[in-house]
Structure 1
Amino acid sequence: MADTITSNLGLDRPETGDDAVVPFTLENLDTRGRSVRLGAALDAMLKRHDYPPPVARLLGEAVALAALIGSSLKFEGRFILQTQTDGPVNLLVVDFDAPDGVRAYARFDEAELDAAVASGRARPGELLGKGHLAMTIDQGEHMERYQGIVALEGDSLEEVAHTYFMQSEQIPTHVRLAVAELSQRGDPVSHWRAGGVLIQHLPDHGMAVMPDLPGDGDFDNPETADPDFVEPDSWTRARTLLSTVEDAELADPTVSPEQLLFRLYHETGVRVFEPTAIEERCTCSAERIEDMLRNSFSSEERAEMAVDGQIEVVCEFCSSAYHFNPHQFETSN
């Protein structure tokens, strides 16, 4: 069900709160998009690992970006956003389990991070360094995986996302992301929050589905980009209006996605759709890890892993610890 936002936010449902994605269209501007607001789910992911603030902000942006893209999948599958770089934060992984689960992990060099912060080189682009961003859509073991890769160039994940969509899929796209650590009245503990908006220009034929899905774009051939593309006035206006949003607005817990979209697009008109809830959810399990240990390692390798007679495997995402007796696999081999 869709609602056209009026001046008094005349929705036939409550305004959307935290940990949700709200799809919307700007029909008069030939544009559609999604708005995400993350609260408790993001806070749990970041605090579990006690990431330093620069790392937490960077990973929070990656989670918001992955939620904006992954929530567009129309099938059960996984969307994986991953960076591999030579900077202080050398790995970011966000695993979006469609339609509503997300988990994330960052790897960083503490000494390099401290040096970067001390010298004032703590912008996202400086923390990531040189490398690449990969976006992967995994539809399951019996289906082909789709992947797009782009060099990490620019000062932020926003800029990298713009480059990715233009090079890999030739879709005019604009993204705004913001992450903040805020304290609310009456709560002495600060909490991590994030917000983001992604808009894309609709093709001339008005296709309603998201063209950033597998099969709708050429993931690996940036040579096919149209050199004669002229930005339509409608897209220029949609993009310019989104550029005016402040970071504080994106992360503000008192501003719902519907309120934010009305502030930006009330003059042109905006239609919102039912939100999709997002939850922090890890896909690890004892059964999966047991299968991995059984099928990927020899009995000698498993014996070498054991400490005090136990193999311990800790999930990098959720920090859950699993314990196995190395001899329990022998009868299965």
Structure 2
Amino acid sequence: MKDEFTLGEIGFAGDDQVVPFQVEGLDARGRAVQLGPMLDAILVRHEYPEPVARLLAEAVTLTVLLGTSLKFTGKFIVQTQTDGPVDMLVADFTTPDSMRAYARFDDKALAEAVAQDRLEPHELLGTGILAFTIDQGAHTQRYQGIVELNGATLEEIARAYFRQSEQIPTEVRLAAAQLYGSDEDGRHRHQWRAGGVVLQFLPESPERMRQADLPGGDLPDDSDEFEFEEDEDWLEAKALMETIADDELADPQVGSERLLYRLFHERGVRVFEPVAVRDNCSCSRDKIMGVLAGLEDDEFEESVESGIITVKCEFCSANYRFDPGEIER
């Protein structure tokens, strides 16, 4: 089956489809996506406050963009651990297409942030780390890359990760939005959407991928930093990415393919077979029973309330009930 197309050969992929693409004229490759029903199902299930939902929507978008590039069976997990009102975001992608996510936040701290209009990403997250984890399953070692949360947005933090860990020139754009309308019964409701693009510079000559060294941090304040000229093709690619407006990324009337054409048609953009993603939690009664069976005696006893063990999945909100006697310890 043919798996690559020019933009005129196929229809639009639509929501919840990651579109791989290549810009041959700029030696760049990337992935674009617009998330709709899948993302809305995750966020509405938890009834997150708007600032929390927006942050998690961007984390989910980043995760599917990167996770769908895996060439093996496994998991790709994006997780923050911070000291802000939203102290944890977890977006967990399992190949080939399953996505789940949740956020943890402090109600009181979030209310204070809202009252004081401190709703920028860095204000909600605070200080801490962002971890990218690749897990290929049993009998393999997990790979984890960690970067400090020192940027104002998840976009900036992701760029810093690729700069430090992968050493591949990378640009990231993410945006989340709400669409307001009516459902089939005429009731007013909103739907969460998000969109994103990841672009990487991958020329045949590795020397062209060089970037200026990061500041050492121990240089005197009056020291002159070494100036390094980036490749012209990559400078052009970055400049084009900077023209993307947030509303374009999530607008269903634009679509991933139309956005890519707007950006790169003069340089020749090629899109490939889209990759579908879906809301699908991997929790199960058997898995949770296995976790309970491995608890220490005191932890197991503490989990029993009124003769029953109740476990709620943080991701999909499913509730599981167990009789302590059915757990083989």
Same fold (TM over 0.5): yes
Aligned twin of 2:290: 291
Aligned twin of 2:323: 325
Cα drift, residue 296 of structure 1: 2.5
How far, CA to CA, are the matches of 1:204 and 1:236 in structure 2?
17
Aligned twin of 1:202: 202
2:182–2:189 contact (8 Å) kept in structure 1: no
Aligned AA (1:261): L
2:75 to 75, 78, 84: 78
How far, CA to CA, are the matches of 2:230 and 2:76 in structure 1?
29
Q: State which drifts further: 257-266 or 311-320.
A: 257-266
Cα drift, residue 204 of structure 1: 2.9
Aligned twin of 2:114: 117
Cα drift, residue 205 of structure 1: 4.2
Cα drift, residue 95 of structure 1: 0.3
Aligned AA (1:235): W
Aligned twin of 2:269: 270
Aligned sequence identity (%)? 55
Cα drift, residue 230 of structure 1: 3.8
Aligned twin of 2:193: 193
Summarize deviations over 1:118-165 as a string: whole Å, max 9, x none. 112100111000000000000001111111000001110000001000
Question: What secondary structure sits across from 1:16 in the alignment?
Answer: coil
Cα drift, residue 93 of structure 1: 0.4
Cα drift, residue 304 of structure 1: 2.8
How far, CA to CA, are the matches of 1:301 and 1:98 in structure 2?
33
Say whether 1:59 aligns with 2:56. yes
How far, CA to CA, are the matches of 2:272 and 2:205 in structure 1?
21
Cα drift, residue 327 of structure 1: 1.5
Aligned AA (1:173): T
Aligned twin of 2:20: 23
The 1:61/1:289 distance shift into structure 2, 3 A limit, reads same
Aligned AA (1:266): H
Aligned AA (1:204): E
- What aligned pairs does 1:194-233 form with structure 2 within 5 A after superposition? 194-205=194-205, 230-233=229-232
Aligned AA (1:305): S
How far, CA to CA, are the matches of 1:138 and 1:230 in structure 2?
37
Question: What secondary structure sits across from 1:194 in the alignment?
Answer: strand
Aligned twin of 2:222: none
Question: What secondary structure sits across from 2:305 in the alignment?
Answer: coil
Cα drift, residue 175 of structure 1: 0.5
Aligned AA (1:197): V
1:161–1:175 contact (8 Å) kept in structure 2: yes
Aligned AA (1:202): L
How far, CA to CA, are the matches of 1:264 and 1:34 in structure 2?
13
How far, CA to CA, are the matches of 2:302 and 2:128 in structure 1?
34
Aligned AA (1:128): L
Question: What secondary structure sits across from 1:21 in the alignment?
Answer: strand
Cα drift, residue 308 of structure 1: 2.0
Say whether 1:158 aligns with 2:160. no
How far, CA to CA, are the matches of 2:24 and 2:228 in structure 1?
21
How far, CA to CA, are the matches of 1:286 and 1:297 in structure 2?
19
How far, CA to CA, are the matches of 1:45 and 1:121 in structure 2?
25
Aligned twin of 1:217: none
Aligned twin of 1:48: 45
Aligned twin of 1:249: 248
Aligned alpha-carbon RMSD (Å):
1.9
How far, CA to CA, are the matches of 2:194 and 2:302 in structure 1?
42
Say whether 1:179 aligns with 2:176. yes
Aligned AA (1:194): A
Summarize deviations over 1:71-103 as a string: whole Å, max 9, x none. 100011000100000001000000010121110
Aligned AA (1:281): N
| Structure 1 gap segments, 5+ residues each | 212-221
Cα drift, residue 239 of structure 1: 1.1
| Structure 2 gap segments, 5+ residues each | 210-214, 217-225
Point out 4+ residue stretches in structure 1 off by more than 6 angstroms.
none
1:135–1:147 contact (8 Å) kept in structure 2: yes
1:166–1:172 contact (8 Å) kept in structure 2: yes
Aligned residues: 308
Aligned AA (2:81): Q
Aligned AA (1:325): D
Say whether 1:308 aligns with 2:306. yes
> TM-score with structure 1 length normalisation?
0.89
Aligned twin of 2:221: none
